[in-house]
A and B are shown apart, each in its own frame.
Chain A
Amino acid sequence: MIVNGGVLFAPGTFSQSFTLTRNVETLPVQTSLSLGVAPFFDGGARVRVTRTLSIGAVGFLSASKADGSLDAQVPHPFYFNQPRAIGGTLSRLDHSERGVHVELAYPISVAHGREITVFGGPSFVHVQQALVTDLAYTESYPFDTATFSNATTGAVTANAFGANVGADVTWRLGRSVRAGALVRYTFANPTLTAAPGNSVSMHAGGYQVGGGLRMLIQKGPPRAPRQPRPARPARPRR
């Protein structure tokens, strides 16, 4: 059994590009969002299928916030083709990922109670992301400028299959307990659709760095009970 916790470094930025309708014209909106470093937790189990290969499944969960910027061209209320440029920041848009990694694991080095295992396999990722669905701005006569106020967001979900690869270093703490340090890279490309014409293709996953415990559960006959040592004969006294 495997239990890990750590941090997830998300893969770069993703952007939204969509349009709204204001003042009987199209209002184009562009956002650029970056996911921050997020905590993650996972847990699962591997089963040895050959002398050296194991197969396992690990469920994972991470949650973070996305920050970024928004730019839009707001149509003028009185005149065609005279948009006003507005821009602002977006902060703390909720992002979460859940899913399952299926992994084939192979130990490549064992020495001095330390074991290094590489693993990889397919991943299933369920992403929930808050996306911009509308925006508000302030303006006043003669409406030649406008100022971004805030964005309305909505939680959007999507599923995607991807893959993961990684390595795990463990140290024996006891007969069936080990401490482990993990590096895993997961990639998947879910497409989030907030509304028709408002879709985002993003990279889920990223680099996970963390550690946890490995508990070994061994199959086979029970060991014989420990025999008491025979008493050592007394030395003759000189």
Chain B
Amino acid sequence: MHVRRGARLIPFVIGLAVLAHPPGVRAQPRRLTVLASDPAQVRRIDSTVDAQIRSGQLEVRRTDDDTLLEGRQHARLRQLHHGVPVVGAELTRQTDELGATVSVFGSLFEGIDVDVTPALDAAAAAAVVEGRTGETLAGERMPTLCVYPGTDGYHLAYRATVFTADGASSYVIDATDGTVLHETSGLRTQSAVGKGTGVLGDQKKMSVTLDSGTYTTRDPLRPPLLTTYDLRGNLQRTLDFLNGRTTLGVSDRASDTDNVWTDAAAVDAHAQTGFFYDYYFKRFGRRGLDNNNLRLLSIVHPVSRAAIGTQSAATVGTYYLNAFYAGAGVMVYGEGLPPAMTAGGQHWDYLAGAIDVVAHELTHGITDYTSDLIYENESGALNESFSDMMGTAVEFFYQQPGAGPMQADYLLGEDVITPGGIRSMANPGAFGDPDHYSKRLVTPNDSAHDNGGVHTNSGIPNHVYYLAIEGGTNRTSGLSVEGVGQANREQIEKVMYRAFTQMMPSNATFSVARAVTIQAAVDLYGASSAAARAITQAWTAVGVN
């Protein structure tokens, strides 16, 4: 077990450390990081974790069977302070078939000293959000209470995500006085620079429903409720739905009278969402985003290409040059640009047209229901990177390797954002992204700075994924990696899937990710396996130790 808190080691007693401090002065948040995979370390920590569960300081958020190693289970434990969840505090505990703990990863906060009785109710917090965005929140989008470890100490706060014409934002609002403590972009986006040209022209099958003589995009064959809605360029209706103010019905589904579909965006969103579900099921035995067949709801045409001239730059960035996972199984696919227009020197076609984009965004949904990696700084970059990894994995699952359209490669979005796509896992530097930890972007974790550079620093773990499969030399360190090879790419996919969905804590750093992915490889293939060697070498090559 590595306990990282400066150079000092303290006994692992969660939440019992009450430090004296003057009245009115907030205790500085102190994070305790746990990386326990050695049997002796695990034994030591396990009894403490159990005691904390019994006392209500830890809560089992969910337990999932390991779909790759029979008998293994993974529990996610979140820290509570008098029953209120603490933001960014989570442990993951892996147990074997006998119930013995195999590993524990994550971090918790100690010294929390806030009263959990809020001065403001949720409606008041929602009013604060409305005051800043003009959007009202309702239903399951209403703010929820939390303990927020801010830079100036712990706060009792509300969290909420709101969708606006300019995008989406997540707010942390002080439950005492309504102060906005933190604001980040609430979108898990595929990025926002590029362009596309026309329709790819490939034929896909559509699993649809016949309703009163009209075919509509509800897939009756796959286990989850898989539906694609065509909002016909009505941004206000899109916002009403995303903010919980309205529901969508049969008449909102994409439809066709002869079952020969010509709306390329609807075809790709609908079919490729199914491909995504199929990949996870066939590769990992996973049943959708929450592993319980949560609905998959896709929205196409949230805005109109014809109306682009009247839209703000932020709206164009969010609803045209973007695709995003909006939570609760909802995906919104950007409209792209009219063929005659470019952005950033690139053409942008319908974002649903690229299978890696679709799988990338939906993987954010997987992350939401598993590691829930905090969308800022290194954990946010890991969140983005896991989506890139799985987006690329799905692309290789369905397409032949190659460099042309509808061929599998390590570029992201290259089929609809031409030329070139938006990121490269093989050579992150080609897009200005770091391929080594020494080149990471250090920037404030706010929405103005991409939540701490999550789309930039993802280049580092992205390159790990690439090197672990293909092998090669890191351009910065000059260190070489012996990859598992194309024929064994499934091994790395399973290692990453297992690590990111079952073992990774929500507050993981790159260093934690290194430990977790190596552990996943060792569990699956053995300590001396090619996969474990490749993962270890790759992290070392990118400067993460």
Contacts and interface: CB of A to CB of B under 8 A. Distances in A.
Interface of A: 23-24, 76-80, 141-144
A61 B470 CA distance: 73
Given A141-B222, A143-B221, A78 B281 contact: no
B205 A79 contact: yes
Contacts of B207: 77-78
A49 to B, nearest CB: 68
B121 interface: no
Contacts of B47: none
Contact of B221 (A24, A77, A79, A80): A77
A142 B205 contact: no
Interface core residue of A23, A78, A80 (most chain B CB under 10 Å): A78
Contacts of A143: 221
Nearest to A23: B205
Contact of A77 (B205, B223, B282): B205
A80 B281 contact: no
Given A142-B281, A142-B282, A78 B223 contact: no
B287 to A, nearest CB: 10
Interface core residue of B205, B207, B223, B278 (most chain A CB under 10 Å): B205
Interface in B196-216: 203-205, 207
Contacts of A141: 221-223, 281
In order of increasing CB-CB distance, the 10 nearest A-B pairs are A78-B205, A77-B221, A141-B223, A142-B278, A142-B281, A78-B274, A141-B222, A142-B282, A77-B207, A78-B207
Contacts, number: 26
Contacts of A24: 205
Contacts of A77: 205, 207, 221
Contacts of B271: 78
26 contacts: A23-B205, A24-B205, A76-B205, A77-B205, A77-B207, A77-B221, A78-B205, A78-B207, A78-B221, A78-B271, A78-B274, A78-B275, A78-B278, A79-B205, A80-B203, A80-B204, A80-B205, A141-B221, A141-B222, A141-B223, A141-B281, A142-B278, A142-B281, A142-B282, A143-B221, A144-B282
Contacts of A78: 205, 207, 221, 271, 274-275, 278
Nearest to B260: A24
Interface string B258-282: 0000000000000100110010011
A144 B223 CA distance: 15
A140 to B, nearest CB: 9
Interface residues of B, number: 13
Interface string B82-106: 0000000000000000000000000
A80 B275 CA distance: 12
Interface of B: 203-205, 207, 221-223, 271, 274-275, 278, 281-282
Contacts of B205: 23-24, 76-80
B484 to A, nearest CB: 25
A178 B222 CA distance: 74
B48 to A, nearest CB: 43
A175 to B, nearest CB: 77
A76 B204 CA distance: 12
A39 B228 CA distance: 61
A30 B204 CA distance: 27
A78 B205 CA distance: 5
Contacts of B222: 141
Given A23-B205, A77-B221, 19 more contacts: A76-B205, A77-B205, A77-B207, A78-B205, A78-B207, A78-B221, A78-B274, A78-B275, A79-B205, A80-B203, A80-B204, A80-B205, A141-B221, A141-B222, A141-B223, A142-B278, A142-B281, A142-B282, A143-B221
Contacts of B203: 80
Contacts of B282: 142, 144
B218 to A, nearest CB: 14
Contacts of A80: 203-205
Nearest to B281: A142
A144 B207 CA distance: 15
A23 B207 CA distance: 9
Contacts of B223: 141
Nearest to B219: A78
A94 B221 CA distance: 36
A178 to B, nearest CB: 70
A142 B222 CA distance: 8
Contacts of B274: 78
Nearest to B222: A141
Contacts of B278: 78, 142
B268 to A, nearest CB: 14
A84 to B, nearest CB: 14
A208 B203 CA distance: 56
B109 to A, nearest CB: 43
A80 B223 CA distance: 20
A202 B274 CA distance: 45
A32 to B, nearest CB: 31
Contacts of A79: 205
B93 to A, nearest CB: 31
Nearest to B282: A142
A144 B221 CA distance: 13
A78 B282 CA distance: 14
Nearest to A143: B221
B475 to A, nearest CB: 38
A23 B203 CA distance: 13
B435 to A, nearest CB: 35
B313 to A, nearest CB: 39
Contacts of A23: 205
B255 to A, nearest CB: 18
